[in-house]
Amino acid sequence: MHIPLSREEDIEREVDLLEEIIRISGFNNFLSIEVNLKQLGTISKLEKLKRILKNHFINLGLNEILHYTINSNFSFNKVKLKNPIVTESSFFRNNLLYELINKYSFNKKQKNKNFEAFEIGRIYYITPLGDVRESEVISGIFGGTIYNSYWSEQKNLINWFEAKGFIEQIFNLLKIFPTWQKLNDKQINLFHPNRSAQLVLNRQNIGVFGQIHPFIAKTNSIMDEVYLFELNLDLLNSLWKPVQILPYVSYSFHPVSIIDLAFLKNNRVTFEEVKNNIYEIGAPLLESIELFDYYEGSIVPLGYQSLAFKLKFRSLKRTLTTQEINVIIKKIKNSLETKFDIIIRE
């Protein structure tokens, strides 16, 4: 079989030859994929997981972004295209974090607002055994924002423990509780050696989280207090169990009664202990406890904190009277003074 002279310049690569074979054979001879009508209109478990994560990160203030799957960056375990159209599109990406760091750095150089974002996409990599693998992951970058952690403190950058809590919210949402283990040497190139961890559940590495490596931060003119994460969606999907039935709670048509409660708490007593005690006594009429004032300073005895709460009481069946609310409040005050080193403020 010889290439006609009129087509010699058209057929230069293997992909061109494949195109000609397809044309000669005919598209009608290729088998079509049958659609399962039973699955039409339904959302897969993986798609539900992605929607939950998207909504969660967007609600936390992160923006969703997208990058090309193919780029020109080379690394030791990247999958290379055999016949790239252009040299700028030679390799499949093996993580999403490099592009996120580049965009964070570019945004900072343009003097724009702080850049916090996440991306959902596929990555491709070569295993130590030489196999090519494909995974879907969600990655993100956040931090560098100055805000108040506590009312009594000045504005600070987010620290590692606060950033760790940011990630733990996701696992609490999914009811998945991995262990935090030290990263291996191959994973430390992007992450701080002492402020990073891999997330392991059932002996499976479901993701990584940590502060950006100081060298990477300096090279890209980024603050050190920036944090990265990448979670394997395929593994998360296999471990996550969606809630089939959502609990329904009736809404009360009766008014809420709000009572302010202020006291001085010893620092040795945890807020969790106090809150649980108040809920235990106030149940079932106590609907919520909201902290609205906190002070720790010169006018407060050493080793104590001044706290003030709004206690909201409501019944599903009737309007509560002032007398029965006062009875509950008196029991709460007596219990706090008896069980804990607490001074009630009148």
Q: What is the DSSP string of 209-254?
A: EEEEPHHHHHHTT--S-EEEEEEEHHHHHHH----SS----PPP-S
Task: Round to the nearest angstrom and report the end-to-end CA distance of the chain.
Answer: 100
- Inter-CA distances, 53 with 12, 59, 138, 172, 304, Å: 46, 10, 9, 12, 40
Structure confidence at residue 153 (pLDDT): 62
* Angle, CA of 248, 249 and 254, to the nearest 5°: 150
CA dist 242 to 143, 249, 298, Å? Answer: 30, 19, 50
State the pLDDT at residue 233: 94
Sequential pLDDT tens for the chain (346 residues): 566 677 667 777 777 777 888 888 877 777 777 666 666 667 888 999 999 999 999 998 899 998 888 877 766 667 887 777 777 778 888 888 888 998 888 888 887 777 889 999 998 888 878 888 888 999 999 987 766 555 566 667 788 888 888 889 999 889 898 998 888 766 668 888 888 899 999 889 999 999 999 898 888 888 888 999 999 999 999 998 887 666 677 788 899 999 999 999 988 888 888 889 999 999 999 999 988 888 887 888 888 889 999 999 999 899 999 999 999 999 999 999 999 888 898 7
Instruction: Report whether 79 contacts 273 (CB < 8 A).
Output: no
Distances (CA, A) of 256 to 310, 316, 318, 340: 12, 10, 11, 28
Antiparallel, parallel or unpaired: β 132-143 and 146-147: unpaired
| Cα 130 from Cα 150, distance rounded (Å) | 51
pTM, 2 dp = 0.61
3-state secondary structure (DSSP) of residue 128 = coil
Token pair belonging to 238: 């296999």
Q: What is the pLDDT of residue 148?
A: 59
DSSP, collapsed to helix, strand or coil, labels residue 176 as coil
Neighbouring-strand partners of residue 191:
212
Top CATH class of 45-239 equals alpha beta
The H-or-E segment that residue 46 falls in is helix 45-59
Contact 310, 242 (CB under 8 A): no
The reply to whether domains 45-239 and 257-345 share a CATH topology is no
Q: What are phi and psi of 284, to 5 degrees?
A: -95, 5
Domain range summary for the chain, segments of one domain joined by +: 45-239, 257-345
In a 13 Å sphere around the CA of 227, the CA atoms on its Cβ side amount to 23
Q: How far is CA 277 from CA 122, 232, 262, 303, 322, in A?
A: 48, 40, 15, 21, 22
CATH topology of domain 257-345: Alpha-Beta Plaits (3.30.70)
